[in-house]
Amino acid sequence: MIGWIVLILVILVILALIGLGWDTFFGGVKEGVEKIGNLPEVKNLTNKAKNEFGSIIGNSTLDIVLVIKNI
């Protein structure tokens, strides 16, 4: 079932590429991604993810340093 859905989506993308042209199609996709990226919800989520990732990496690095110093 999922295979058919993927096949239909691939065919639609290929038809859009043929109909619109390479530059127009990917220009529209890029513009859409930029619009989504500028939403406040997405920015907040991105900032939270950066902070959490930084704290995880910071804690891991501190643990590694402490283990090396104890050796």
Shared domain for 23 and 48, answered yes or no, is: no
Q: What is the pLDDT along the chain (71 residues), one digit of tens a residue?
A: 788 999 999 998 888 888 888 888 888 889 988 888 888 888 888 889 888 887 777 666 655 655 666 66
**Exposed / middle / buried, residue 48 (Cβ in 10 Å: 0-12, 13-18, 19+):** exposed
Domain total for the chain?
2
Domain limits at 27? 1-38
Say what the pTM is.
0.46
Shared domain for 2 and 33, answered yes or no, is: yes
Q: What is the dihedral of CA 56, 58, 64, 67, to 10 degrees?
A: -100
Shared domain for 6 and 18, answered yes or no, is: yes
Shared domain for 31 and 17, answered yes or no, is: yes
